Amino acid sequence: MINKKDSKKKIKRANYLSASQSLNIARHNRKMMRHFEKRNNRKNVPESEYLAEMKKPGNVVEFDDLHTYFFTDAGTVKAVDGVSFDVPLGKTVGVVGESGCGKSVTSLSLMQILQRPIGQIVSGSIRFDTGSKVYDIAKMPSEKMQKIRGNNISMIFQEPMTSLNPVFRIGTQVDEIIKLHNPEMDKEEIKARTIEMLEMVSIANCEGVYRMYPHELSGGMRQRVMIAMSLACSPRLIIADEPTTALDVTIQAQILDLLRNLKDKINSSIMLITHDLGVIAEMADYVVVMYAGRIVEKGTANEIFNHPSHPYTIGLMASKPSVNKRVERLYSIPGKVPNPINMPDYCYFRDRCEKRFGRCDGPYPNEYNLSPTHSTHCYLYADDQEERQDG
């Protein structure tokens, strides 16, 4: 039996909120959500308010100091807290980091499909080049976003079963998407195009699969169907969020092969989100490493894999299984990600970092450039080396 004294102690340790704290949080949340929802739901907003210009013409997407928060009962979760990176045209950018570090929220912000009203883009820009115009999606009212979603950007999710409708045949579902993007096509043409798409993603027996229901297909086949659907609108950008995580290893390799081949054929950019550096190594031209809502390192794939610099990236590399290496036990980075509601004001990785030194007790480190394309937020690379040694 737990006595009263013990349970009181436990409550204190668990850091429960008092009634007045909860009330304050609820009041603050209501105010914030009302403010942002009013912004999102505005009607007849002149286009000039969300038209933008790319900083670099070769980019499809530019995230610029993006902040996306969730206003929860326990407090504000700063899921994405000042993220900046580019997705160049025709390239694959891998976004990697442990679970919960803000990868999905970054892409959901870009699609404007955050769980509202609690999830909101609070500040920053997401510039997206549609080919004819550049929009700042962070400023775009919800009603305008529908056209971009599906027409210019498509998304492949981790679990295709949740995205396919179980009560309709595969053919009907792909036809529907083709029809949406090609209203001038008749029934025959639509079906022919659907079969062509299914062939493109290397589905054998396309005619048979056309008549099947999702539950009759394996996970790998369902993922191929999802990829076919995502290509139907010839998107400028494909977001693939853990596209192979639910699949077993051989199927994973096949799906990655497929994505790689398709990318060359369709000339889209891919934003590939995964916790698995192995997947990134197979696919990415550029790599963005996220930790606790921020980017800790970014660079070309070559720079990140051959010269990983941030201790977190080095830890991720060490915890990646390899077929050529015999190890007794896989390395895992010790410690936990800090509580997203109360982030510290020093380097977020400090409490897990084996390389920490005096200066790391200072404020969150700035971005230090290691090459024109490679940068990291870590005091080990601070410009003034002397100060580092002093610390």
Residues of this chain, 98-117, that bind Mg ion according to CB under 5 A? 104
The residue among 98 and 303 lying less far from ligand ADP, judged by its C-beta, is 98
Residue 226 binding ligand SF4, by CB under 6 A: no
CB of 318 to ligand SF4, least distance (A): 15
272 binds, among ligand ADP, ligand SF4, Mg ion, none (CB under 5 to 8 A by kind): none
Q: Using omega within 30 degrees of 0 as the cis cutoff, is the peptide bond preceding 117 cis? A: yes
The residue among 16 and 357 lying less far from ligand SF4, judged by its C-beta, is 357
Decide: 292 and 102 in contact? Cβ < 8 Å. Answer: yes
Decide: 160 and 195 in contact? Cβ < 8 Å. Answer: no
Number of residues that bind ligand SF4 (CB under 6 A): 13
- Residues near 285 by Cβ (< 8 Å), separated by ≥ 6? 88, 91, 92, 93, 300, 301
The residue among 83 and 134 lying less far from ligand ADP, judged by its C-beta, is 83
The two tokens of residue 114 are 């955050």
The residue among 232 and 288 lying less far from Mg ion, judged by its C-beta, is 288
Residue 308 binding ligand SF4, by CB under 6 A: no
Residue 292 binding ligand SF4, by CB under 6 A: no
Among 30, 114, 122, 34, residue whose Cα is nearest residue 72:
30
Decide: 111 and 149 in contact? Cβ < 8 Å. Answer: yes
Residue 378 binding ligand SF4, by CB under 6 A: yes
**Residue span binding ligand SF4 (CB under 6 A) among the ranges 2-10, 19-27, 40-48, 350-358:** 350-358
Identify the residue among 380, 383, 385, 388 touching ligand SF4 (CB under 6 A): 380
**Residue span binding ligand SF4 (CB under 6 A) among the ranges 97-105, 135-143, 195-203, 342-350:** 342-350
**Residue span binding ligand SF4 (CB under 6 A) among the ranges 15-23, 129-137, 142-150, 348-356:** 348-356
CA dist 352 and 333 (Å) reads: 7
CB of 20 to Mg ion, least distance (A): 34
The residue among 148 and 353 lying less far from ligand SF4, judged by its C-beta, is 353
CA dist 105 and 112 (Å) reads: 10
Among 73, 97, 74, residue whose Cα is nearest residue 85:
97
**Residue span binding ligand SF4 (CB under 6 A) among the ranges 170-178, 209-217, 327-335, 344-352:** 344-352
The binding site for Mg ion (CB under 5 A) comprises 104
The binding site for ligand SF4 (CB under 6 A) comprises 310-311, 347, 349-350, 353, 355-356, 360, 365, 378-380
